[in-house]
């Protein structure tokens, strides 16, 4: 049973990657070490793009489980995503804080998926209010891994029934929109 699930995960990841690559005109490449992880590379409009995506079977009980799909988009462009000196990132919580039940770094805002975000430096939050609004309302449990300068890294965990192309397009639209309100 386990072997069959592993094969299904490899097949599902390959199908989702092929669909997204064909739809967006990107070049797919499978990770040499992790068979359920694919990397899509290319250029879309003004973005240089590297998207990583994959699927896993997450066991929820002894006999049940569900598919868990994930995306990570790294986009770079000539024009900065945020004003100089600003960074948006997830709030950090060290393993020691977690172990002791401490909350960790306080978040300035929270996404629809429950991820706390911080703006560095915090006194300049008003300058990125529109970007924060877009990030907190983003679909597919999307959140930024880091946004600074000309580089934007977004992560997402779409529902199993959402096509990879749709989730990837939504993350790309979010990346393109950041910084357009200046």
Map residue 162 onto helix, strand or coil. coil
Closest CA to 132 of 170, 89, 171, 80: 89
Residue span of the structural domain in which 122 resides: 2-177
Q: Is residue 70 part of a domain?
A: yes
User: Is 182 among the domain residues?
Assistant: no
Which token pair is 104? Answer: 């960790």
One pLDDT digit (tens) per residue for the chain, 182 residues? 678 888 988 999 999 999 999 999 999 999 999 999 999 999 988 889 999 999 888 888 887 888 889 999 999 999 888 888 888 888 888 888 888 888 888 988 888 777 888 998 989 888 888 888 888 887 777 888 889 889 999 998 888 888 888 989 888 888 888 866 55
Distance of CA 176 to the CA centre of its chain: 14
In a domain, residue 83? The reply is yes
pLDDT tens sequence across 4-42: 888 988 999 999 999 999 999 999 999 999 999 999 999
Residue 34 falls inside a structural domain: yes
Q: What residue has token string 């192309």?
A: 165
Tell me which H or E stretch contains 135.
Answer: helix 129-136
According to the model, what pLDDT value does residue 180 have? 60
What is residue 1's predicted lDDT score, i.e. its pLDDT? Answer: 61
DSSP assignments along 42-82, one per residue: EEETTEEEEEEEEEEEEE-SSS-EEEEEEEEEEEE-SS-SS
Provide the domain count of the chain: 1
Residue 94 domain flag: yes
């Amino acid at each position: 049973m386990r072997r069959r699930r592993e094969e299904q995960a490899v097949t599902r990841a390959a199908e989702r990657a092929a669909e997204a690559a064909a739809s967006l005109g990107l070049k797919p490449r499978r990770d040499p070490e992790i068979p359920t992880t694919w990397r899509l590379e290319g250029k879309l409009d003004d973005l240089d793009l590297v998207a990583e995506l994959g699927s896993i079977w997450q066991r929820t009980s002894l006999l049940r489980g569900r598919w868990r799909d994930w995306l990570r988009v790294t986009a770079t462009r000539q024009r900065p995503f945020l004003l100089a000196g600003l960074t948006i990132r997830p709030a950090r919580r060290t393993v020691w804080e977690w172990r002791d039940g401490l909350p960790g770094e306080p978040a300035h805002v929270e996404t629809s998926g429950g991820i706390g975000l911080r703006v560095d430096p915090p006194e300049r939050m008003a300058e990125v209010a529109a970007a924060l609004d877009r990030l907190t309302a983003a679909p597919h449990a999307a959140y930024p891994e880091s946004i600074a300068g000309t580089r934007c890294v977004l992560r997402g965990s779409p529902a199993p029934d959402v096509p990879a192309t749709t989730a990837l397009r939504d993350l790309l639209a979010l990346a393109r929109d950041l910084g357009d309100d200046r």
